[in-house]
A and B are shown apart, each in its own frame.
Chain A
Amino acid sequence: MPASAPTPAPAPHAATGPILPLRLKGAEARRRGKRLVGPVDLELGREGFTIVMGPNGAGKTTLLRLMHGLERLAAGEIRWAVPMREARMRQAYVFQTPIMMRRSVVDSIAYPLRLRGVGRAEARARAARWAGRIGLAEALERPAPVLSGGEKQKLSLARALITGPEILFLDEPCASLDGRAMREIETLLLEARQGGMRIVMATHDMGQACRLASDVVFLYGGRVHESGPAEAFFNAPRTPEAAAFIKGDIVE
């Protein structure tokens, strides 16, 4: 991946102001009457790299989906600094299992731009530059579904970043990827953060959390058990569950 490639800065939205901070107040997600997450009180500021951690079933994915609007809010409120409709346009989401459209690599990356009315030629040209950044310059016309796992996840990331979102949600994007693909993705994420993008990522990987996090949200049993600066969380966790999780003990 060329290190000299320009960092994608979030698209300017000076007219309406930034979409952050994001405030969750008593937010709950339920499915068939069963509470999956919540009530959650949380505030995400304008800057930073938040890592959402917790054992399996803690509600990491559901919390991310709830904030992004993919999960229905059962109770409480989620408030962006701009109207919800506009906030939705200025954020992106990367799924744990990459969803590949039945299109070529370049058309897959260009798709979000096409949805926003960018002409085909321009969208493809911008997508081709992104494909170069993620090491897929030679595979522009290859069908996206036949890429390797790592390539698919990098494509997902490029597809999320191409519109310059102000906040990016990632649900364990490096799960089941090898070290090289993970490093490439982390490099892209750090570049995006340096460019001013707000990042919220769920991960199981303690090493990755230590490398990337500026702050941590620790979920346990669908609730925020602990949240705060990463250094304080890793060095002096306040709850026994968080301490056990950091130590690598089995936390159920």
Chain B
Amino acid sequence: MDGFAAGLWQAWKLIFTLDPDLYEIVFLSLRVTMSAVIIASAIGLPLGAWLVIKRFRARRFTIALLNALIGLPPVVVGLAVYMLLSRSGPLGVLGLLFTPTAMIIAQVIIITPLIASIAHQTMRDLWAEYHDLLLSMNASRAQRIAAILWDGRRALLTAMLAGFGRGIGEVGAIMIVGGNIDHVTRVLTTAIALETGKGNFAFAMGLGLILIALSLSVNLAIHWISRTERASVW
């Protein structure tokens, strides 16, 4: 309990003394995860909608594969991205290893199947409801996808928040591809791992509490902005 109280005190101190290192870490954490969520959503949401609407031979297999990819071990993703981006790797020439961009790439790979899978499940129900109406109105495939994405936007936000939750708390992949370099690629989760390793448990706990507060704040802010539970059945 002493450790937890000390952690709370550390968190309090870090926030209210406007510790520049802490704010740098927080902003980088947000930047990396938000960028990854935006990119993963741009891929995953239309992919989920497409899988609902398009009928093709390998559709069931693709959906099963997508669901299975949710369980991708982040460490393995990190290792694969590391090998791709390392000097001797196929994309080594880009010089992205140990940069925030590499961390975003790893997180996109981890988050996209999660967002696409939740989006697919959400939109499947909506499509069952809209199917006859949209066909009757001669909506093109792109218009059908747009309709279920737009009308299911509040539920899809939940998919994006799940992706954010997975990304902001992720440590294995970004530790490998980012390298946890101070002032360059250090984010909240890698900083917590480092401080724990150094035995600074109170400081690590303080960072952990800030991470939880950050995650809750983003979720609440998104729900408030999207007027969830305020617009009747929408």
- The closest CB in chain B to the CB of A111 belongs to B137
Stretch at the interface among A12-20, A73-81, A89-97: A89-97
What chain B residues lie within 8 Å of A92 (beta carbons)?
136-137
Given A115-B137, A115-B139, A115-B143, A102 and B234 touching (CB < 8 A)? yes
Given A88-B138, A115-B139, A115-B143, A99 and B232 touching (CB < 8 A)? no
B147 within 8 A of A: yes
Within 8 A of B (CB), among A94-117: 95, 99, 101-103, 111-112, 115
Residue interface mask B151-173, A partner, CB < 8 A = 1: 11000000000000000000000
A143 within 8 A of B: yes
A195 within 8 A of B: no
What chain A residues lie within 8 Å of B27 (beta carbons)?
none
Do residues B138 and A143 form an inter-chain contact, with CB atoms below 8 A?
no
A135 within 8 A of B: no
Within 8 A of B (CB), among A109-159: 111-112, 115, 143, 145-146
B132 within 8 A of A: yes
Do residues A89 and B138 form an inter-chain contact, with CB atoms below 8 A?
yes
What chain A residues lie within 8 Å of B137 (beta carbons)?
92, 111-112, 115
Within 8 A of A (CB), among B180-229: none
With the chains together, A2 CA to B224 CA distance in Å?
A: 40
Do residues B132 and A99 form an inter-chain contact, with CB atoms below 8 A?
yes
With the chains together, A101 CA to B152 CA distance in Å?
A: 10
Do residues A115 and B136 form an inter-chain contact, with CB atoms below 8 A?
no
What chain A residues lie within 8 Å of B133 (beta carbons)?
95, 99, 101
A23 within 8 A of B: no
With the chains together, A115 CA to B143 CA distance in Å?
A: 7
A70 within 8 A of B: yes
9 shortest A-B CB distances, which residue pairs? A102-B151, A99-B133, A93-B136, A143-B232, A145-B233, A146-B232, A88-B138, A102-B234, A112-B137
Q: List 9 A-B contacts (CB under 8 A).
A: A68-B136, A99-B129, A101-B133, A102-B234, A115-B143, A143-B232, A145-B234, A146-B232, A146-B233
Interface residues of B, Cβ cutoff 8 Å to A: 126, 129-130, 132-133, 135-139, 143, 147, 151-152, 231-234
Interface residues of A, Cβ cutoff 8 Å to B: 68-70, 88-89, 92-93, 95, 99, 101-103, 111-112, 115, 143, 145-146
A99-B129, A101-B133 provided; 4 other pairs, C-beta below 8 A? A70-B132, A92-B137, A99-B133, A111-B137
